[in-house]
Amino acid sequence: MTMNVLGYAAHSPTDALAPFHFERREPRANDVVIEILYCGVCHSDLHTARNDWQNTTYPVVPGHEIIGRVVSAGAAATRFKVGDQVGVGCMVDSCQHCAACEQGLEQYCEAFPILTYNSVDPHDQMTTFGGYSQKIVVSDQFVLKVPDGLDLAGAAPLLCAGITTWSPLRHWKVGKGSRVAVIGLGGLGHMALKLAKALQAEVTLFSRSPGKEADARRLGADHIVISTDAEQMEAANNRFDLIIDTVPYIHDLNPYLPSLALNGTLVLVGYLGDLDPMLNTIPLIMGRKSVAGSLIGGIAETQEMLDFCGQHGITSDIEVITIQAINEAYERMLKSDVKYRFVIDMVSLQAA
């Protein structure tokens, strides 16, 4: 039997999110049913609710930074038992047999991964609905174990903001002696600072917001560069092995390229779309520099990141909100007024 679940949905790009009842699938043998305790609020939720990427099917229930407890596990879902604390991130399935899936890079599945919300499950053609809801049904291969000892609300953002910044740090082999910069101090940016610092890199933040300097230092930045200050930008030339750019909207990359060191890479994780102004190739050619992109991370890599966070006591800096406050939270996120991730306490859904 399918199960009726209460969540919060957007019904159009301009409507506020509001209570919404929908059906979750009947659990399959390898499914885990999870009672959702906390769900982080990612800027991607806002992009999707407002149809910024022109691919939203309404109604949409956002949320892909999910922490919960297992309430039942199918006969084939043997890695999990009732009561386990678990996480679900941005993906809930993938083809499992393409070259990307075979390497554990399900996020780059050639058939495209089934996303936690705003996707269609190929097994039953049901739309996927995300974590702003009471319960979720997920194939056990896409369920993560949350290490004991981590604050559960603070761990929620690890499922997207954490893995999206961890994956490029690992891919570009950041470690002791690496020089890493992060553009933008929001949800992704603050996790990038924490994770790069824990990997023993020397860490710099590029920010438009001078008021964030003290926080940036507390979160792990050794240096801050105010990106609107030409002198400070110039002083950062030839410095960074890796720059992680988390800015959600179109912006000029050219001012950052001179700050890459020889062989350095600027990896985009925020903005999806055409660049304007175009890239000037001169600073790329003069120094064998790269501009790259990166999407979340694979399931094994997500577990690796969670285990690393468990060992190092890393969680997100959060502001816990009720589900009723979600629309106001979106407005604050648009003003970069988040310290540094909103997390919804799903108990509040009972009052909806």
Pick the piece of the chain touching ligand NAP (CB under 6 A) from 93-101, 184-192, 193-201, 344-352: 184-192
Q: Which residues contact 317 (CB under 8 A, 6 or more apart)?
A: 154, 190, 219, 339, 340, 341
Residue type, 67: I
**Least distance CB 345 / ligand NAP (angstroms):** 19
Span near ligand NAP by CB under 6 A; candidates 73-81, 114-122, 301-309, 330-338? 330-338
For residue 323, give the nearest of 102, 1, 55, 10 by alpha carbon. 10
Distance in angstroms (rounded) separating the CA atoms of residues 346 and 67: 10
Q: Please, what is the minimum distance in Å from the beta carbon of residue 64 to Zn ion? A: 5
Binding status of residue 251 toward ligand NAP by CB under 6 A: yes
Contacts (Cβ under 8 Å, ≥6 apart) of 142: 88, 89, 91, 92, 93, 106, 299
For the CB of residue 284, give the shortest distance to ligand NAP in the complex, in Å: 21
Interface with ligand NAP, residue 170, by CB under 6 A: no
Residue 115 interaction partner, one of Zn ion, ligand NAP, none, beta carbon < 5-8 Å per kind: none
Residues 326/352, Cβ–Cβ less than 8 Å: no
Distance in Å, CB of 107 to Zn ion, minimum: 12
Closest C-alpha among 244, 279, 248 to residue 265: 244
Residue 94's binding partner among Zn ion, ligand NAP, none (Cβ under 5 to 8 angstroms by kind) is none
Q: Does 178 bind ligand NAP (CB under 6 A)?
A: no
For the CB of residue 261, give the shortest distance to ligand NAP in the complex, in Å: 22
Q: Is 95 helix (H, G, I), strand (E, B) or coil?
A: coil
Residues whose CB is less than 8 angstroms from the CB of residue 29 and which lie 6 or more positions away in sequence, other chains included: 74, 75, 76, 77
Q: Is 333 in the site for ligand NAP (CB under 6 A)?
A: yes
CB-nearest residue to ligand NAP: 186
Which of residues 68, 113, 131, 184 is near ligand NAP by CB under 6 A? 184
Instruction: Identify the residue among 338, 343, 344, 346 touching ligand NAP (CB under 6 A).
Output: 338
Q: Are 135 and 34 in contact (CB under 8 A)?
A: yes
Among residues 42 and 144, whose Cβ is nearest to ligand NAP? 42
Residue 41 C-beta: closest distance to Zn ion, Å:
9
Which residues in 151-170 contact Zn ion (CB under 5 A)? 160
Is there binding between residue 198 and ligand NAP (CB under 6 A)? no
| Tokens 């499950």 belong to residue | 121
Contact with ligand NAP (CB under 6 A): which of 50, 171, 208, 332?
208
Judged by CB under 5 A, does residue 42 bind Zn ion? yes
Closest Cα partner for 146 from 308, 297, 349? 308
Q: Does 162 bind ligand NAP (CB under 6 A)?
A: no
Is residue 296 a contact point for ligand NAP (CB under 6 A)?
Answer: yes
- Residue 289: name its binding partner from ligand NAP, Zn ion, none (Cβ under 5 to 8 Å by kind): none
Q: How far apart are CA 257 and CA 144, in angstroms?
A: 36
Instruction: Yes or no: say if 199 and 205 are a contact pair by the CB < 8 Å rule.
Output: no
Torsion of CA 65, 70, 71, 72, to 10 degrees: 120
Strands 3-9 and 240-245 come out as unpaired
- Lookup: tokens for 293: 């992109």
Subset of 40-59 contacting ligand NAP (CB under 6 A): 42-44, 47
Residues that bind Zn ion (CB under 5 A): 42, 44, 160
Residues that bind ligand NAP (CB under 6 A): 42-44, 47, 160-161, 164, 184-189, 207-209, 212, 246-249, 251, 269-270, 294-296, 333, 336, 338
